[in-house]
Structure 1
């Protein structure tokens, strides 16, 4: 009698030991606040030089920073390691869910138009901040290229192409996708902001929030 082979379930590949140690170091700093190399080595049960090597790697990667603090506000200054903003961002966050909840309450309390007013105020503030980087006095090709650089810095992974007399800008990532899927006002407001920033007409032909692979914008006549 033959026996059926048991189904094989692949297990996730474990992190290499050095990476596991770095992850544990980040978790310890996250949970307990700024720590000395000695404290971290003790908690990890590794030597201080070994802990320092991993800390240097994390510091080179921009995940932690070193600074001097007095424990409890007094005593001798200590050299400690703390998370940077990039290090904080490596831990799970629920900002998008919180944003959607807040906007839903704004809509319920003040009406549909209130959400649009919130997005328009945000867009006006962003446009004012970016105007120096995309000056209206510059020629259109220069403005468009600067505009795409700004989009990339904002996390949109944008690319630029020319199609005859028009420019095509493709945003291949939407860092605000959770919000954009539930509040199309965000995309409407962003389009208005882009036109204000560039000072020329612009149309949007595709949207990631609608299930397409990119947000495609056509700039020009």
Structure 2
């Protein structure tokens, strides 16, 4: 009787998806836990974990099991990793803004967003002092945007600074409420302390949101 051949290994991307699902479903996991759940070797699980860390989807922490015992390294989803799973936040946000606008008028949405901006500015100023060179402040802003899933990059052309958002976690809301994009641009100018102009906008169907920082150089 001919022995059945072993099933082919799962494609790497499918394995990474399963790994994310395990962490989502069961919470913080060790590399050994994940290797067992994926039915792969621990070194193979670590390779997938390394790739996912580089993509910003997973991060490592040191925890004590149950608050006791020896510390161990566990892996959890980042905000970007959480965003890979379906959410209803955008529809909830649109509903809330619609009710705010209906109850308090069109200007109420922008007032709410302005209040949110003021809170963000206070935290940003603690992390990125106003006396830093402009390029460092732009990089600090981009770092913050990336922690929230905007996939942003910064570059310089001559003396002019630019940054580009290649993803918009708020796109569904922004398409219905342009006030969100208005408040966003106002926030960036306040954080950087210089004028900021938006040259492209995803909510209008363009491929990214590109910003020019400061007035155009001559």
Per-residue deviation, 1:211: 2.9
Partner SS state of residue 115, structure 1: helix
Instruction: State how far apart, in whole Å, the 2-side matches of 1:178 and 1:20 are.
Output: 27
Q: Give the Cα–Cα distance (whole angstroms) in 1 for the partners of residues 13 and 166 of structure 2.
A: 28
Aligned 8 A contact 2:34 2:45 in 1:
no
Distance 1:35 1:132 in 2: 33
TM-score by length of structure 1 reads 0.64
User: Of 133, 137, 148, which aligns to 2:138?
Assistant: 148
Q: How big is the shift at 1:81?
A: 5.1
> CA offsets, 1:40-96, max 9 Å, x none?
63x65x4xxx342343234434336474434xx99x999795533254344333433
Which has more radius of gyration?
1
Structure 2: stretches of 5+ with no match in the other structure: 1-7
- Partner of 1:199 in structure 2? 193
Map of 2:76 onto structure 1? 83
Q: Provide the C-alpha distance between the structure 2 equivalents of 1:202 and 1:30, rounded to a whole number of angstroms.
A: 38
Taking the aligned partners of 2:194 and 2:29, their CA distance within structure 1 comes to 52
Partner of 2:108: 114
After TM superposition, the score normalised by the length of structure 2 is 0.65
Q: Is the 8 A contact 1:151 1:158 kept in 2?
A: no
- The secondary structure found in structure 2 opposite 1:53 is helix
* CA deviation string 1:176-219 (max 9, x = no partner): 33222221112222232233333334444443322344434352
* Distance in 2 (alpha carbons) for counterparts of 1:202 and 1:18: 41
Superposition CA RMSD, Å: 3.8
- The counterpart of 1:56, out of the listed 40, 46, 59, is 46
How many residue pairs get aligned? The number is 193
Please list every run of 5 or more consecutive structure 1 residues that lacks an aligned counterpart in the other structure: 1-13
